[in-house]
A and B are shown apart, each in its own frame.
Chain A
């Protein structure tokens, strides 16, 4: 007889932990099973060279929803907050952005940015309400509560005022490129905003709905950049601690082989090592494709649903580059105390678009875009004394590289990255003592995310709110009784926000009560 739990959460990613904690808080006996040895999923800090550690995927915290912190009583340990973004220029005349302020781009752009930022934040605040709740169901037999939510969405939109509502509706499906070109003169500023809109996606600045992805980034905390203590793994550990404090059992190194389906409903899970656990409630933190195609098996769900899940767009495009350095590299025009900030290489909007062009055809960018941090500058636990680590998000490195990911192609991409960065960090190469490149293929194999996609599925208007991950399954409950999604593939999407996990837990508790 397999051990029985009220709920089993498959995967201890940050959303899985949030969900498990809230379910446990709600009185459920919860078991969390994580394939890797550490909790956190992609929100993890790993040692990549002797003494050098770094956040393996996301390295800055800017989306963690205040509601999640409140519900869990979580106080994330931060080594820094309110980081500046420094858009690097070859000549050292950088543009710096923090909050609604821009310096180095001229007075006109500073004014424009203030207006732009205010408007974007207004829209993001509207979005935030819906990011933090289960999307309403549409259709003739939608429950009353959902109709009310929908009515409120309409009302909130209308409350923006006629002009602003029109502007919102105009912008939401639009691309960021047109908007930055219209508003700003500074190419560095245009490039920086473009980068923020496309990070983690298979989109370029000229792709549709890149304003939506930009707003998504702002929803919650207006994208205030924070550096968690001990890297992103610190956040995961804190979440795991909260979950355990509510009574959840977390077991790592326990990859789930399959979700057991009995008589048309989820009945438990079976691990790779043969251990089985029973539960009428299985909550998957894995991406929708892994959950349905691999863990459940398509034969247990209906065809239309299978077909939609099968066609989810999960083309990861982000590589993580980690360098162990024997000292901080020099950057012209950057003050020593600024090294804790966020540096980006996206000199203009067309540069970002051109970088994306390659990805469309299965090639890595000839001139990639970068988001660079030196986390060890503020957090000495990450590198030996006097030494440093560099953590860079590099785009675009397509999952389905035409020539395939191999040591050779990885080496070639590292060379490309070093070459591009050399223009801004001239003595970087000489300081490198160890290198790690995580391609989307590595992210897939090490973190079990199909396609190595940040959001567990493209963040786009056709996969948002009522239709995330797919229509008919947007309220966390999958069309298999007892099976729920709680990861980034569900509404609202990826990023270390905890929203999907929290919404899922609330929805599960609500539904279980009504049964």
Chain B
């Protein structure tokens, strides 16, 4: 009797035919109904491809909504905290959206594809909330997650690789810009966006053209160190870039039960996304109050002494470790920065840039647990933020 594969009731990415050829680890997890790879060959090497050449991460499972209709701008402008009037067609906005209590439901990117036509991408699904937000507005919201295949092409050589595909306007494409091009008769959308904090692009195409696009991309990248990467490499890169993630660094407000377990954008370091000049947006009244009274929590980026990642650690104001003031939400040893880095949530007034805090790190050596109280400095800038991320046109590497 032969051994049968267990059906898991998960969707496969449109890129699966190619991913499966590269897969040597068989490490897959569930991402919103899809199977998504932790890694394909070696997660460490995959990570280094993002920082030194190009890593390709499959973002097809990401939730994608197409928002159209006469009220699409009004709808989005009320939905998110930032001013969407400023986002012209051909531009992309990183944004967060809140409930009426000013607590973050999720964050994501909003692509202004054409006048009045938007694509909103997020980790979680939000149709019911968006439907509620659309009451009384002439707007059409369609989930196009299954219709669009997408790849994040990230790393210093990503520009050189995409140049091989003869995409008009690529040279002038600025960070958070997008363009439409033709790929074998289908519309290819290219945006200069990503989740790695490095030079990089995301490319989007209808699902049936997924494999031809993959093939063309990997052919173009053959001499530029292109490599498929999984979530493990991406997660490390995003912590270095200081990007937060739902279910790691905050819980979607609608997934919390206990009071105080959700976070406002002000508590997640997203103040710059909150535009109080807008007369109305979801959460405005609550956030204005919070702004006046002060927030309870603050998101911190920590540079920690030593080399042991501070996973799940408590944060203390003093090495005595008497009274904790917060906890770590994401932690890693950063190979490219050679720093022990973490993101965490601490109670105000602690956690101002430059503050010194202490984290209690537990680690295991041959089964036995040890504990170290490590000093941590609150830093303001992302740990990894190279100039090439912003250069237009990007240089060849």
The closest CB in chain B to the CB of A262 belongs to B279
The B268-285 residues at the A interface (CB cut-off 8 A) are: 279-285
Contact B74 A303 (CB under 8 A): no
- How far is it, in angstroms, between the C-alpha of A310 and the C-alpha of B131 when the chains are bound? 12
- How far is it, in angstroms, between the C-alpha of A305 and the C-alpha of B98 when the chains are bound? 13
Shortest Cβ distance from residue B201 to the other chain A in the assembled complex, whole angstroms: 33
Q: Which residue in B78, B259, B279, B285 is a CB contact (below 8 Å) of A303?
A: B78
- How far is it, in angstroms, between the C-alpha of A479 and the C-alpha of B281 when the chains are bound? 12
Question: A297 interface residue, CB < 8 Å from B?
Answer: yes
B 222-237 binary contact with A (CB < 8 Å = 1; else 0): 0000000000000000
Question: A263 interface residue, CB < 8 Å from B?
Answer: yes
Contact B279 A479 (CB under 8 A): no
Contact A298 B136 (CB under 8 A): yes
With A299-B74, A472-B100 already in contact, the answer to whether A304 and B282 are too (CB < 8 A) is yes
Q: How many A-B residue pairs have CB under 8 A?
A: 58
- How far is it, in angstroms, between the C-alpha of A298 and the C-alpha of B259 when the chains are bound? 27
A 490-515 binary contact with B (CB < 8 Å = 1; else 0): 00000000000000000000000000
Query: Which B residues touch A302, using CB under 8 A?
Result: 78, 100, 280-285
Question: B337 interface residue, CB < 8 Å from A?
Answer: no
Query: Which B residues touch A298, using CB under 8 A?
Result: 135-137
The closest CB in chain B to the CB of A296 belongs to B136
Question: B132 interface residue, CB < 8 Å from A?
Answer: yes
- How far is it, in angstroms, between the C-alpha of A271 and the C-alpha of B1 when the chains are bound? 80
With A298-B135, A298-B136 already in contact, the answer to whether A303 and B280 are too (CB < 8 A) is no
Question: A350 interface residue, CB < 8 Å from B?
Answer: no
The closest CB in chain B to the CB of A264 belongs to B279
Query: Which A residues touch B284, using CB under 8 A?
Result: 264, 302
Question: A301 interface residue, CB < 8 Å from B?
Answer: yes
Contact B132 A306 (CB under 8 A): yes
The B37-85 residues at the A interface (CB cut-off 8 A) are: 71, 74-75, 78-79
A 253-267 binary contact with B (CB < 8 Å = 1; else 0): 000000001011100
Question: A28 interface residue, CB < 8 Å from B?
Answer: no
Question: B133 interface residue, CB < 8 Å from A?
Answer: yes
Shortest Cβ distance from residue B261 to the other chain A in the assembled complex, whole angstroms: 14
B 132-165 binary contact with A (CB < 8 Å = 1; else 0): 1101110000000000000000000000000000
- How far is it, in angstroms, between the C-alpha of A306 and the C-alpha of B132 when the chains are bound? 7
Question: A300 interface residue, CB < 8 Å from B?
Answer: yes
Shortest Cβ distance from residue B115 to the other chain A in the assembled complex, whole angstroms: 19
Question: B360 interface residue, CB < 8 Å from A?
Answer: no
- How far is it, in angstroms, between the C-alpha of A264 and the C-alpha of B288 when the chains are bound? 13
- How far is it, in angstroms, between the C-alpha of A306 and the C-alpha of B136 when the chains are bound? 9
- How far is it, in angstroms, between the C-alpha of A263 and the C-alpha of B284 when the chains are bound? 13
Contact A301 B137 (CB under 8 A): no
Shortest Cβ distance from residue A470 to the other chain B in the assembled complex, whole angstroms: 11
Query: Which A residues touch B99, using CB under 8 A?
Result: 303-304
- How far is it, in angstroms, between the C-alpha of A500 and the C-alpha of B132 when the chains are bound? 28
Shortest Cβ distance from residue A417 to the other chain B in the assembled complex, whole angstroms: 37
- How far is it, in angstroms, between the C-alpha of A375 and the C-alpha of B282 when the chains are bound? 51
Question: B129 interface residue, CB < 8 Å from A?
Answer: yes
Question: A336 interface residue, CB < 8 Å from B?
Answer: no
Shortest Cβ distance from residue B10 to the other chain A in the assembled complex, whole angstroms: 31
Contact A303 B136 (CB under 8 A): no
With A303-B78, A303-B79 already in contact, the answer to whether A264 and B136 are too (CB < 8 A) is no
- How far is it, in angstroms, between the C-alpha of A479 and the C-alpha of B283 when the chains are bound? 11
Contact B137 A303 (CB under 8 A): no
Query: Which B residues touch A297, using CB under 8 A?
Result: 136
Query: Which B residues touch A479, using CB under 8 A?
Result: 100, 285
Question: A307 interface residue, CB < 8 Å from B?
Answer: yes
Query: Which B residues touch A310, using CB under 8 A?
Result: 132, 135-136
Question: A293 interface residue, CB < 8 Å from B?
Answer: yes
The A262-277 residues at the B interface (CB cut-off 8 A) are: 263-265
Q: Which residue in A140, A264, A299, A304 is a CB contact (below 8 Å) of B137?
A: A299
Query: Which B residues touch A307, using CB under 8 A?
Result: 132, 135
9 new A-B contacts at CB < 8 Å, known A265-B279, A300-B280, A304-B282: A140-B259, A293-B136, A298-B136, A299-B137, A299-B280, A302-B282, A303-B79, A306-B132, A307-B132
Chain B positions near chain A (C-beta within 8 angstroms): 71, 74-75, 78-79, 99-101, 129, 132-133, 135-137, 259, 279-285
Chain A positions near chain B (C-beta within 8 angstroms): 140, 261, 263-265, 293, 297-307, 310, 472, 479
| 7 A-B pairs (CB sep. < 8 Å) | A140-B259, A265-B279, A299-B74, A299-B137, A300-B279, A303-B135, A310-B135
